[in-house]
Amino acid sequence: MTEKATRQVAPALKAEILAEALPYIQRFFDKTIVIKYGGNAMTDPQLKDCFARDVVLLKLVGMNPVVVHGGGPQIESLLQRVGKKGEFIQGMRVTDAETMDLVEMVLGGQVNKEIVNLINQHGGKAVGLTGKDAGFIRARKLLMQKKDAPPGDVIDVGQVGQITGIDPSLISFLDKGDFIPVIAPIGVGEGGETYNINADVVAGKLAEILHAEKLVLLTNTPGVLDENGKLLTGLTPREIDELVANGTLSGGMLPKIGSALDAARSGVQSVHVIDGRVEHCLLLEILTDHGVGTMIKSK
């Protein structure tokens, strides 16, 4: 709904909408909600503004939003400008040393600070971080198993990281000060190495470590779709396993779904894969009866 359309809504309907949100505000008060921010919601000016407003509102009504962002389109744009071609294997970006420098520049600098600025413009107190800050996201080199190959037959995708640990104390400290953490998915190795980590993976693991009530993953699709392209609004981990096994879910959706499953099985009450192309999708999913995607329940 655009700002103009919102202004045209009758006062009684506005009151009804606000009243509908009350039980959700009560239920999720003081709960942590980890949000993976990416896709069109990061590139469309109106959607960016809606996202920032949603995050500030969630904070103001007593929830603890933690934002983890991607930056694929912005990384691709910079790679093209320097004459490099992006490459993905099983949904992971191949990251050589030069690409890692560019990724860190985009994620830790350009994109992170833009999100922080947007949230702050709408009255929030956002703080930008990477996993290097206080060393709170520790990682090691990820070696990916080749499909249908013997164990140990791996693919080297460069400086792509696998999370070995997350120290939640920094995030907890910021939450208590009413700050909104905005996290770029960059980890640090034992020897100070920099690792590019899939943002969905970071969001999922962070939701587990923080014992989040919800993990919300913004996508460029209506949610999880079946083989006929129909939206599946509610799924269990077992049903997700079946969709992966039969090939319905593949490519870039695999890290997202893998993170969702791990989080759901590790105590996160619900995981939501929602359509980030819908204005105010966060509020619709969290504060109303009308979801805009797929919910994966923990059981």
What is the DSSP secondary-structure string of 41-57? GGTSHHHHHHHHHHHHH
Is 132:202 a contact under the CB 8 Å cutoff? no
DSSP H or E stretch at residue 204: helix 199-209
According to the annotation, is 252 in a ligand binding site?
no
Dihedral through CA 93, CA 99, CA 100, CA 103, nearest 10? -80
According to the annotation, is 120 in a ligand binding site?
no
Give the largest CA-CA distance in the chain: 64
Nearest to 286 by CA among 274, 277, 268, 296: 274
Q: What span, in angstroms and rounded, lies between the C-alpha atoms of 144 and 141?
A: 10
According to the annotation, is 112 in a ligand binding site?
no
According to the annotation, is 71 in a ligand binding site?
yes
The annotated binding site for substrate is made up of 71-72, 93, 196
The annotated binding site is made up of 71-72, 93, 196
